[in-house]
Structure 1
Amino acid sequence: CARGACLVRCRRRLYDLSGFVRLHPGGEQLLRRRAGTDVSAALEGPPHRHSANARRWLEQYYVGEMEPGEEQVPPARGIAGCSRGHGCAEPAGCPGAPLCRVHRDLVDWQKPLLWQVGYLGEKYDEWVHQPVDRPIRLFHSDILESLSKTAWYVVFMVWAPVVLYLSWVSYTSLAQGNTRLFSSFTAEYSIPVHKYYFPFIFLLGMFLWSLLEYLIHRFVFHMKPPASNYYLITLHFLLHGQHHKSPFDSSRLVFPPVPASLVIGFFYGVLRLLLPEVLGLSVFVGGLCGYVIYDMMHYYLHYGSPKKGTYLYGLKAYHIKHHFEHQKSGSFGISTRFWDHPFQTLIPEETFKKED
């Protein structure tokens, strides 16, 4: 598996996981160790019982059947079967493995999807939560399509300088000693805000962002649009449904800067109305930093391969469960699981009966 194809078998069916090795939530080393083996028992766990969506996902990599009496996985060359990413119509050989028939999908993948999904009606919710491994095109226009895609590093290149500059502006403004809380209500009892408070205000902004991240993800991105409303279904797919349909489309894992600037500008305006100018800016820049960290982490949780036992390893597995099994019921925190606790949306740990 270190070089070339990474073949595994599930009973008699062969799968080429070469393109999925780095993306596997259990880590690429786990798949490398299982190359050439039967993974049917591993699908049932422990340590993890794979969901119906995970089994459906596996069917996308089907490449052929083993010959009767053959015990070893054959070399990759010469295997006849379905091509990667197009699914197969043969009976599934793995327990609980649903068929993956992308060529019989409800939409035409050769055309932009954004204008098709609204017609799915009652079928949309189930369809959008059955992930596939293929890129998505949203718009007919090449210009709009390019604006809807973003490489992960663009977010850092655009917003990191803004965070640094606004942090400097906030600190130097606070250093002038003119910022006071409640000064619009009373001058006698107003509270001065010193420059030494800036790091704490900055961290407050990051903390508030983590809450906002959770609320937006749960109540906006995971709203269930009415089956009869074409426009709300289309909006849902544009905002987040596309990501759940194709969770490993690398060009759609971070928020494009153009629409992001509109949302960021809105929240800056809200803070300006609620807080004194410099104080609002200090909270805002902390929140903006939190957003940049969130986008970078989100990309890494999909495309990174963190070391087993680390915080990011657990967070990656937790987030992938959200995509494949608990899309509607839990794991709405992305950069942290903190808010899943008080809102009671934490995904429960899996348990397995001990064998006698």
Structure 2
Amino acid sequence: MEFPVRLDDKNYDIKKFLRDHPGGTNTLKNYKGKNILQAMEKFGHSVNAYHMLNDFKVESEKDSNLSGVSENGRIITKEEDSRDKEEIAYLEELEGRLDWSKPLLSQLDAIAPDYEKWVNSAVYRHCRLFSSPLLEALTFTPWYLVPACWLPAILWLATHQYREHVAHDNSEVLSILQFFWHLALGLFLWSIIEYSLHRWVFHLDPGKNLTMIKIHFLIHGLHHKMPFDGLRQVFPPVPALMLACIIYQPVSWFLSYPLIKLTGGLIGYLTYDMIHYYVHHGSPADGTYLYAMKRYHSNHHFVNHDRAFGISSEIWDHVFKTFVKLRTLGFSLRWD
């Protein structure tokens, strides 16, 4: 079933976007078949929303020759209340350098001088990264694969460490309270790692170096370019395992009971990855923690990509002064 809307004498079908709309599904339902310009202006939509519509444009003989609005459908991460035609044209020129029907990774040299601007102008679509079917298949990770891999590892580690340090009869036995203290400390350390990775690694400016651009695009850039791609929103288990080993080595040198803390850190990581997926695709109720984090993370993607780095928590955004205060709404958002 279609969900037609109109804007500037052009027709759009936003059916597939309803549940992904950052402003909720319920705010759209009353506008089916109607002109949405007045509503978009009333609720203060930025230029992002206007240009995202173009990925849902319904071509017809009447509107296919009309100009003015971008035809490739950009989300411009710049908060403003009016449309910037020069910015649209600039981003369209960038997008025109790439052929989306072919693997993108081998084409990034075409936009290398303007990579930061390009990667932060999101689209509602999917892309191919590699020409090799095997490599391409390895880039897809269903969300349920993450708990399926990490929950058994966490349970084994927790059980093994509990038996060795709590239930075992030796001179270094820990109390249950001490055991959970070390777990909690590992969870706390993960929260710092989460923020640090997201801000200083995933959002590292690769400059104009093509190798660095490709690395950045693979680890995080593609998520900002295609934030609604549900198969590329959780961390694949193998790279996650490699990263865990790299982080664990220096930590094990100066912290006591490092494997207990690693267990707590892995609990934190799994929680983070599941929250990240949920805030993109879930339907949290107003007043809940996940509702607030969904709105907060949407702001990071579509308005302030250089702020609001916290995903499972806002704590370190407050500490490092990258916190973004969201506007208070007079109504609840729903994504059903």
Same fold, TM-score > 0.5, yes or no:
yes
In the other structure, the counterpart of 1:286 is 264
Higher-helix-fraction structure: 2
Contact 1:272 1:280 in 2 (8 A): yes
What is the alpha-carbon distance in structure 2 between the residues aligned to residue 327 and residue 27 of structure 1? 20
Contact 1:119 1:230 in 2 (8 A): no
Instruction: Note the C-alpha offset of 1:285.
Output: 0.6
1:340 and 2:317 matched? yes
Contact 1:52 1:97 in 2 (8 A): yes
1:63 and 2:58 matched? yes
Using the size of structure 2 for normalisation, the TM-score is 0.85
Distance 1:230 1:18, change over 3 A: same
In the other structure, the counterpart of 1:53 is 48
Deviations for 1:29-48, whole angstroms, at most 9, x for unmatched residues?
222233233322332344xx
In the other structure, the counterpart of 1:268 is 248
Give 5+ residue unaligned stretches, structure 1. 66-78, 83-87, 181-191
In the other structure, the counterpart of 2:36 is 39
Distance 1:106 1:89, change over 3 A: farther
Contact 2:5 2:36 in 1 (8 A): yes
1:169 and 2:157 matched? no
What pairs up with 1:113-192 in 2 under 5 angstroms?
A: 113-175=104-166, 176=168, 178=170
What is the alpha-carbon distance in structure 1 between the residues aligned to residue 100 and residue 189 of structure 2? 39
- Of 139-148 and 288-297, more deviation after overlay is shown by 139-148
What is the alpha-carbon distance in structure 2 between the residues aligned to residue 321 and residue 236 of structure 1? 21
Structure with bigger gyration radius:
1
Alignment-mate amino acid for residue 206 of structure 2 = P
What is the alpha-carbon distance in structure 2 between the residues aligned to residue 118 and residue 280 of structure 1? 43
What is the alpha-carbon distance in structure 2 between the residues aligned to residue 89 and residue 160 of structure 1? 53
In the other structure, the counterpart of 1:186 is none
Distance 1:177 1:113, change over 3 A: farther
What is the alpha-carbon distance in structure 2 between the residues aligned to residue 194 and residue 52 of structure 1? 57
What pairs up with 1:154-303 in 2 under 5 angstroms?
A: 154-175=145-166, 176=168, 178=170, 193-227=174-208, 229-276=209-256, 279-303=257-281
- Of 264-273 and 311-320, more deviation after overlay is shown by 264-273
SS in 1 for 2:106: coil
What pairs up with 1:310-321 in 2 under 5 angstroms?
A: 310-321=288-299
Contact 2:98 2:110 in 1 (8 A): no
SS in 2 for 1:144: helix
Deviations for 1:18-73, whole angstroms, at most 9, x for unmatched residues?
00011112222222233233322332344xx33323321122112258xxxxxxxx
What is the alpha-carbon distance in structure 2 between the residues aligned to residue 128 and residue 8 of structure 1? 28
Deviations for 1:268-301, whole angstroms, at most 9, x for unmatched residues?
323322234xx11111011101111111111111
What is the alpha-carbon distance in structure 2 between the residues aligned to residue 112 and residue 60 of structure 1? 19
Deviations for 1:234-275, whole angstroms, at most 9, x for unmatched residues?
111111111111111111000111111111122232332223
- Of 302-311 and 343-352, more deviation after overlay is shown by 343-352
Alignment-mate amino acid for residue 96 of structure 1 = R
What is the alpha-carbon distance in structure 2 between the residues aligned to residue 205 and residue 336 of structure 1? 15
In the other structure, the counterpart of 1:85 is none
Instruction: Note the C-alpha offset of 1:341.
Output: 0.7
Report % sequence identity: 39
In the other structure, the counterpart of 1:96 is 83
In the other structure, the counterpart of 2:100 is 109
What is the alpha-carbon distance in structure 2 between the residues aligned to residue 89 and residue 108 of structure 1? 23
Give 5+ residue unaligned stretches, structure 2. 71-80, 330-336
CA RMSD in angstroms, aligned pairs only: 2.6
What is the alpha-carbon distance in structure 1 between the residues aligned to residue 298 and residue 169 of structure 2? 47
Contact 1:271 1:281 in 2 (8 A): no
What is the alpha-carbon distance in structure 2 between the residues aligned to residue 174 and residue 263 of structure 1? 26
What is the alpha-carbon distance in structure 2 between the residues aligned to residue 45 and residue 318 of structure 1? 21
Distance 1:308 1:33, change over 3 A: farther
Using the size of structure 1 for normalisation, the TM-score is 0.80
Contact 1:205 1:283 in 2 (8 A): yes
